[in-house]
């Protein structure tokens, strides 16, 4: 894992140098954000008693409303005199915003969350980010800051969303460590290649958060090249069937980055 793509510290049980490595892609272990499962222990004890995934999703969303006062924002400090009313900037708005534009404000918040929690630096937001003094990086920071301003523990909401996603994946795919996912791209060389294994396989450094699809045919619609990767379950932040009434058409999986061995096919 290149030093310029990671931080020396993070907020989970493995450092970025390990969880972002190619070895981790091949031999993953669970990732745990500091204190999240313990703080929300009551939620996961309730989920353990529910056999239906739809019931668990409803229980999770009700817990989010209660834990973060999402329907009683005055209890969280919202006042009528607030200059910038960000009352609707919750975890659901973030994942919906990502689905529409990963390079928008919500995408910047989510990439910033990955940086903070996993120590993986963003490599692209509206353009490649290689120099932390250039305009692309400053624009990303402005979007991230404005996306977090005036919100209600938004990054803590994303912590719990990721932890719940990991819980559901473990229950629904108890015997699996990876999913095969697909990503359509137009300019394959925009992905940072660290090693060319053969004419179809290479090691790439993915952005710290990227969209993939579980449907190969759907991914084909998004570019002239198809990237295929075995993605550790532990690196799936969110997927569209996790919660009801989300955008399900693309079978989208939002994947935490790092080094990945991928195969590439041209169409």
What are the pLDDT digits (tens) for 18-66? Answer: 999 999 999 999 999 999 999 999 999 999 999 999 999 999 999 999 9
- pLDDT tens for 205-225 read 999 999 999 988 887 777 788
Show me where the domains of the chain are located. Answer: 11-172, 178-266
List strand residue ranges (DSSP E) for the chain, in order: 178-185, 192-196, 201-213, 225-232, 236-239, 252-266
Helix axes 154-172 and 135-148, enclosed angle (nearest 10): 90
Among candidates 120, 115, 119, 137, which has minimal Cα distance to 128?
137
Q: Is-above-0.85 flag for pTM?
A: yes
Adjacent-strand bridge partners of 45:
none
Nearest to 116 by CA among 165, 68, 155, 166: 155
pLDDT at 216: 87
Contact 109, 147 (CB under 8 A): yes
Question: What would the pLDDT profile of 119-167 be if each residue is shown by its tens digit?
Answer: 999 999 999 999 889 999 999 999 999 999 888 899 999 999 999 999 9
Q: Is the Cα torsion angle 220, 222, 226, 232 positive or negative in sign? A: negative
């Amino acid at each position: 894992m290149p030093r310029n793509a990671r931080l020396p510290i993070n907020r989970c049980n493995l450092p970025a140098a390990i969880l972002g490595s190619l070895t981790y892609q091949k031999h993953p272990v669970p990732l745990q954000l500091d204190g999240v499962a313990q703080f929300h222990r009551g939620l996961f004890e309730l989920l353990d008693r529910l056999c239906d995934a739809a019931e668990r999703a409803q229980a999770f969303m009700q817990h989010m409303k209660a834990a973060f006062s999402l329907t009683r924002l005055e209890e969280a400090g919202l006042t009528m005199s607030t200059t910038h009313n960000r009352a609707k900037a919750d975890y659901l708005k973030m994942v919906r915003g990502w689905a529409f534009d990963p390079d928008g404000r919500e995408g910047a918040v989510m990439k910033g969350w990955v940086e903070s929690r996993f120590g993986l630096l963003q490599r692209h937001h509206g353009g490649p980010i290689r120099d932390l003094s250039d305009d692309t990086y400053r624009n990303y920071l402005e979007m991230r800051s404005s996306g977090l301003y005036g919100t209600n523990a938004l990054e803590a909401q994303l912590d719990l969303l990721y932890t719940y996603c990991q819980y559901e994946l473990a229950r629904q795919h108890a015997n699996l460590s990876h999913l095969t996912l697909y990503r359509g791209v137009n300019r394959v060389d925009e992905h940072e290649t660290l090693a060319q294994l053969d004419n179809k396989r290479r090691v790439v450094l993915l952005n710290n958060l990227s969209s993939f699809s579980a449907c190969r045919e759907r991914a084909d619609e998004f570019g002239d090249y198809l990237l295929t990767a075995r993605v550790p379950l532990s690196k799936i932040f969110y997927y569209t069937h996790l919660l009801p009434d989300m955008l399900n058409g693309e079978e989208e999986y939002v994947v935490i980055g790092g080094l990945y061995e991928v195969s590439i096919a041209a169409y």
